[in-house]
């Protein structure tokens, strides 16, 4: 539906992909951005997450981490440890703000969804 370019079109797209992330899995901003066709807008993906708070349905922003598997945006949550707690609650092992076995937990929309 592209009848009109609603402001935040990118946001909504990002939310849709993040909502498709299975529990216990994580993805990177670049992967999402690339899936949207805006691989260079990886920063924007994180920005969208910033607004994801209060968005319905809830967006599992805690499943989105940076390329390093580091919880770069945990500080933006309700409280810094919220992101880690949420990930651990889903079975994701987080150590030192870092997702353990990140590559195994990595969920690539381009690969998993594979269009």
| Binding range to DNA, per CB under 7 A, among 7-15, 87-95, 97-105, 107-115 | 7-15
Cα–Cα distance for residue pair 60/7, rounded to 1 Å: 22
Closest CA to 87 of 34, 24, 38, 36: 24
In the list 43, 80, 93, 100, the residue contacting DNA (rule: CB under 7 A) is: 43
Among 19, 20, 72, 85, binds DNA (CB under 7 A): 72
| 41 touching DNA, by CB under 7 A | yes
Q: How many CA atoms lie within 13 Å of 105's alpha carbon, on the beta-carbon side?
A: 26
Q: Which of 17, 26, 45, 99 binds DNA (CB under 7 A)?
A: 45
Cis peptide before 57 (omega within 30 of 0): yes
Binding mask 86-115 for DNA (x = CB under 7 A): ------------------------------
Residue with token string 């935040």: 8
Selection from 72, 51, 65, 53 nearest residue 7 by Cα: 51
Which residues in this chain contact DNA in the complex, by CB under 7 A? 7-11, 28-31, 38, 40-47, 49-53, 61-62, 64, 66-68, 72-74, 76-77, 83
């Amino acid at each position: 539906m592209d009848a009109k370019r609603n402001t935040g079109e990118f946001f909504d797209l990002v939310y849709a992909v993040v909502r498709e992330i299975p529990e216990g899995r994580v993805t990177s901003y670049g992967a999402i951005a690339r899936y949207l066709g805006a691989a260079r807008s990886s920063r924007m993906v994180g920005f969208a997450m910033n607004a994801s708070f209060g968005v319905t349905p809830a967006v599992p922003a805690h499943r989105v981490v940076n390329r390093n598997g580091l919880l770069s945006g945990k500080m933006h949550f309700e409280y810094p440890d919220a992101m880690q707690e949420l990930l651990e609650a889903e079975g994701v092992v987080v150590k030192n703000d870092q997702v353990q076995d990140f590559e195994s937990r990595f969920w690539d929309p381009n690969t998993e969804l594979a269009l």
